[in-house]
Amino acid sequence: MESQKADELPDSERYEYLIKNATQHKEVWLLHAIDGLYAMFEDQQGQQYIPVWPEQVFAASYAIDDWEGYSSQRMGLGEFLDWLKELKNDEIFIGVFPDNNFQAIPVDPITLKKQLEQASGNG
C-alpha cells in the first residue's frame, strides 16, 4: 500500500496501519511545539487528545493552522508505551492517525498500550 494514501483509509484500517507500523519500526510520530508541549485537541465534550501518526510524513503534514510552527517528532515505542500510563492518569486520550479531513480515532491510552504490546509480542 502506498503510505501517502494511508490517511484516506477507513478508521479501522488506519488504526491497524498505526499498530503495524509502530510495532515494525518501534516508533510513533507526534507534533512538538517549541515550548516543549505536544499538539493537542479537544472534542465537543471537552475530552483532550494527543494525535499520533505512524510516519513522519503524516505528522509533518498537520503542522498548519493552529499547529503552524510545530515540528514532527519521533518517539520510540518503549517511551511511548510508558507515556501512555501517564496520559491515562491525566485523562488524556490518543487521537490515532488523523485522516486527511483531520478526523482522528479516539482511543483510551491503556487500550492502545495493550494492543501495541500484544502486536509487538510483549503482551
User: In 3-state terms, what secondary structure has residue 57?
Assistant: helix
Q: Which of 66-70, 108-112, 116-120 has the lowest mean pLDDT?
A: 66-70
C-alpha torsion angle, residues 82, 89, 30, 80 (rounded to 10): 10
Q: How far is CA 77 from CA 5, 17, 48, 85, 112, in A?
A: 23, 15, 21, 13, 12
Domain boundaries of the chain, sorted by first residue = 28-117
User: In 3-state terms, what secondary structure has residue 28?
Assistant: strand
- Tell me yes or no: is domain 28-117 CATH 1.10.10: no
The percent of residues above 90 in pLDDT, for the chain, comes to: 77
pLDDT (tens digit, 9 = 90+) per residue, 81-108?
Answer: 999 999 999 999 999 999 878 889 999 9
Confidence tier at 16 by pLDDT (50, 70, 90): very high
Could you tell me the three cell numbers for 34?
A: 517549541
What per-residue confidence (pLDDT) applies to 71?
Answer: 95
pTM, to two decimals? 0.91
